[in-house]
Structure formats: C-alpha cells, structure tokens
Amino acid sequence: MKVCIFGAGAIGGYMGAKLAQAGADVSLVARGPHLAAMQDKGLTLLEHGSEPVTVPVKASEDPAKLGVQDYVIVTLKAHSVPPVVPLLKQLLGPNSTLVSGVNGVPWWYFHKIGGPFEGTRLATVDPGNAQWDGIGPDNVLGCVVYPAAEVSEPGTVRHLEGNRFSLGEPDGTKSDRALALSKLLITAGLKAPVRPKLRDEIWVKLWGNLSFNPISVLTDATLDVLCTDVGTRPVARAMMVEAQTIAEKLGVKFPIDVDRRLDGGAAVGAHRTSMLQDLDAGRPMEIDALVGAVKELGVLTGTATPTLDAVLALVQLRARSAGLYP
C-alpha cells in the first residue's frame, strides 16, 4: 500500500513520521528548507516523554517523481489546495483515494449527502470547481484532523497533543478503502476511527475554528482569554449559535452544547490559534474555509448570520491590511 502525504509540514510530517516508523511505504511532498533537511538527514519526530526519533523518508517537491499512490493524504491549508490540483492528479490513478485532511467546510460536503442540496458546490472553498472537476468527489475520503504539532526547525516535527484522525465516506458507509487506511494508521500508533457521520465531527471542530480563530486575529488574544472575557465570549457564542442553526438545517447533530465547547476552548490555555500564528508569520489565513464558507452555507439555507458576517468583514480587512488576503 503506497501512501503519499501532500503538504508534509507539522501535521503531515507527524503522520508521515509515524507511518515511516511503522515501515509503511510512505512518501512526502514538501518544499523549502524543511524538504531539504528531510532529504539530507531524514525526518525527526519529537514526542513528549520519548527520545527523538529520526527516520529516513522519501520526500520530494515534484509529485511526478513519486508515482501513482493508493492514498494521497492532503494536509495543506484549505486555500492552498485548488492551485495544486494538477500536481495532485499526478499521484492519482484509477484506484487511488484522496484523503481530505483539510480544516473547515470541505469542498465535497454536499456529495452523497442526499436531500435538496445534493451536489451543491461551494465557491468559497473550491473556486472555479477546481477540486470537484479536477479530482472528483467519488475519489475522496474525508478526514478530521485532531493532533497539534509544529515544525520546530527544518526537518524536525514536534508533536504537541492528540493522535486521532477520524475517517469517513461522504455517504457514511464503512468502505473497504476507509477500513484499510484505518488499519494502517492504527498500526502506526494513531487513532483512526471510521465514522458513519463524519460531518457531525467536522462541525464540532469547525464550531471553535470559525469563532476562536478570527476573534484571536482581531484581538491578539489567546484562547483562555477570548473564551472567558466578558466582551469576546458573547461574540464567539453568538457566532457558534448562528453556525449551529445552519448545521442543524443540514442534518447535523451536536453532541455537546455551545457553552461546554467554549469552556473546552478556555481549558486549552494560553494558546495562539492557527490563524493568529499565520498572521504572526505573515502567511495567508484560512478565512474562507473557516468563516466565509459558513456564511455561504447561511445564504444557502436561508439563515441569518449577522455576528458572523460582521466578524468576517473585520478579519478580511485585517488580513488585507497585512497584505495576506486578496
């Protein structure tokens, strides 16, 4: 079984290192100093309570050098995927599966969902239908990514917490391809449940991302502060309630309530969200996939989202002012 991780930064590097340690036939697509270090010295994984482990890896910037894969696991930021569809296609054969481990509302969300929205395409996350037409939703297996990791230096990934990668077919079946990948990831020491209702998990993770991330960018506040402050907590809560209304219209069931989700965010502590870290580093932020797509779904379902709309407009302007948003 050949597996390629496309976008082997922090999360992709963590998964790749675990698979390589387990002896899997895994290759990595990366670039820059991180790629050069992996090619020169291998990939080093730092896990809490364990000695650093360095494994040799097959890594390249050119997917054509890696050949057709059984699974291509995409761990890029959402806005980075449409432009690289031609590169992804070089790794895909007639029996290949693309595993979408990307944050936010996935481009394939309305594939095999049934009901009046079946086949709806989302311009915010798939402009020009690049992924829908170029890859095809039948070739996609969903994945919700829970681990936190960072590239502490080129060629080195530090694992911070979590080891679960929930998998799910768009139609909710426990397919052979989902079960085979799950077995491989479990063999590598990861948790990889196959979920019949992956969209429910997508929304629970998105619930925090769509509110915590943009508010952190606007306030420079860490999670413990923005989830408890008397001014920002009600704003985050209002955004989450608006999103929950949309999701429930789409058939999603939330296993916890809004305030427990907010309390869970506060319990993470003085953490700078991924969007705030991107702003700090001068990188483009996942505004469209995490916030803009929810607004698009609000329009689709006839749901008013006044708080989300206001925060979206502010964070878009903040990003444009920093030269990080078109």
Q: Which of 174, 205, 249, 253 is catalytic?
A: 205
Q: What's the Cα-to-Cα distance from 248 to each of 123, 295, 300, rounded to whole Å?
A: 21, 15, 13
Handedness of CA 34, 38, 39, 41 (dihedral sign): positive
Specify whether 205 is catalytic. yes
Residue type for 292, please? G
End-to-end CA distance of the chain: give it in Å, rounded: 40
Cβ–Cβ under 8 Å, residues 294 and 241: no
β-strand pairing of 69-74 with 2-6: parallel
Residues 6 or more apart whose Cβ sits within 8 Å of residue 277: none
Residue type for 198, please? L
Q: Where are the beta strands (DSSP E) in the chain?
A: 2-6, 25-29, 43-46, 53-55, 58-60, 69-74, 92-100, 140-145, 148-153, 156-161, 165-168
Cβ–Cβ under 8 Å, residues 268 and 220: no
Q: For residue 241, give the 3-state DSSP assignment.
A: helix
Which residues are catalytic, by number? 205
